[in-house]
Amino acid sequence: MATTLETDLLVIGAGPTGLFSAYYAGFRGLRVAVVDSLPELGGQITAMYPEKAILDVAGFPTVKGRDLVAGLVEQAGTADPTYLLGRTASALTSGPDSVTIGLDDGTEVVAKAILITAGIGKFSPRPLPAADGWEGRGVEFFVPSFDPYADKDVVIVGGGDSAFDWALHLEPVARSVTLVHRRDAFRAHARTVEQVRASSVDIVTRAEVTALRGNGTLESVEITVEGEATTRPAQAVVAALGFVADLGAMKEWGLTLDKRHVVVDSAMRTNLHRVFAAGDITEYPGKVRLIAVGFGEAATAVNNAAVVIDPEAHVFPGHSSEGS
């Protein structure tokens, strides 16, 4: 028998924008539920770069991803949200006074408004062909903690921000770090590239990891540079080749999309009644995809949703610093 949950606002996505949305819904006196396909709160930050220093959050000259998430979770907790983790929003049905979202486990959530904060949607890492069968036996796609790499020879494959961030952070922890990329040019931020170049990390370009070897556990990798293969010791490989994003069932909901982004107006309204969006998933003229921008969009979306939920409410809630 399907479980039905009723709430004022359902937030789809438990990343930074979604967590701040949950807090702000509570600030507006709304009941709130949050659904996410990942089993943990924090979205991409928790899954991909919890140790990364984040530099674009107001009030924090620098803050680690995991610390930012911890603060957001604590803040959201004041709204007493209902979390529905490890579940995917699969179906949307609109009614005159509510929107019903069906989850992939059979749960139905009936909400007076929906706020989509799903970032890039559901994402999965791009595979490393040579590592087929080695996942979990020496090959990982994310680095949630540096401790398991202590005193290991680590090979990182990729040329983007994640690859260089992890190389920089693992360099003082691991016995050795080798970064392998198929081109001379990198997609990573230039400053980070220079920091890695100045470290002990061995950068190998015009190269591919073509084989992994070991008896049960990983012992070495074969790196081919312009047709010439060499073998290096490696007890860990991090495949930082990016990821494939998919909006999944949301593509079938009738939302106006611009490629993989949801088009919104200045109130964060989508083309569907009672459905709003905020954060990286949104698109409008002049859009800038930053965590800081997502926080502002969350407040805008929730304040405008509050009026849809209760027509006697006001868009402007008063300042959070004002006394009661």
Q: Is 123 annotated as a binding residue?
A: yes
321 found inside a domain: no
Residue at a domain's end among 239, 257, 286: 239
96 and 182 housed in the same domain: no
Residue at a domain's end among 213, 239, 265: 239
Are 85 and 70 within 8 A, CB to CB? no
pLDDT at position 66 is: 86
Q: Please, where are the H alpha helices in the chain?
A: 16-27, 43-48, 65-77, 161-170, 190-197, 291-309
193 and 281 housed in the same domain: no
Interatomic CA distance for residues 95 and 5, integer angstroms? 16
194 and 111 housed in the same domain: no
Domain assignment of residue 132, given as a range = 127-239
pLDDT at position 246 is: 73
152 and 94 housed in the same domain: no
191 and 293 housed in the same domain: no
pLDDT at position 322 is: 63
Kindly report the CATH number assigned to the domain that includes residue 106: 3.50.50.60
253 found inside a domain: yes
pLDDT at position 106 is: 94
pLDDT at position 114 is: 98
Q: What is the number of structural domains in the chain?
A: 2
Interatomic CA distance for residues 168 and 196, integer angstroms? 6
75 found inside a domain: yes
177 found inside a domain: yes
317 found inside a domain: no
92 and 233 housed in the same domain: no
Q: Please, where are the H alpha helices in 49-104?
A: 65-77
179 and 225 housed in the same domain: yes
pLDDT at position 317 is: 84
Q: Is 235 annotated as a binding residue?
A: no
Report the candidate in 135, 123, 126 with the shortest Cα–Cα distance to residue 38: 123
314 found inside a domain: no
Q: Is 58 annotated as a binding residue?
A: no
Beta strand 282-283 pairing with 261-263? parallel
Backbone angles phi, psi at 224, to 5 degrees: -105, 120
50 and 111 housed in the same domain: yes
Q: Is 36 annotated as a binding residue?
A: yes
User: Where is 245: in which H helix or E strand?
Assistant: strand 243-246
Give 176: exposed, middle or buried? Use CB within 10 Å, 0-12, 13-18, 19+: middle
324 found inside a domain: no
Q: What is the DSSP letter of 269?
A: B
252 and 119 housed in the same domain: yes
Q: Is 280 annotated as a binding residue?
A: yes
137 and 103 housed in the same domain: no
Contacts (Cβ under 8 Å, ≥6 apart) of 205: 181, 182, 183, 184
Residues of the chain scoring pLDDT < 70: 1-2, 121-123, 245, 320-324
155 and 138 housed in the same domain: yes
Which 3-state string (H, E, C) describes 115-156? EECCCCCEEEECCCHHHCCCECCCEECCCCCCHHHCCCEEEE
Q: Is 130 annotated as a binding residue?
A: no
User: Where is 238: in which H helix or E strand?
Assistant: strand 236-239
- Cβ burial 236-246 (10 Å sphere, 16+ → b, else e): bbbbbbbbebe
Are 192 and 162 within 8 A, CB to CB? no
Residue at a domain's end among 224, 239, 254: 239
Q: Is 17 annotated as a binding residue?
A: yes
Would the CA dihedral through 155, 245, 84, 27 be positive or negative? positive
Are 21 and 301 within 8 A, CB to CB? yes
pLDDT at position 324 is: 46
305 and 286 housed in the same domain: yes
318 found inside a domain: no
Token readout for 294 is: 């997502």
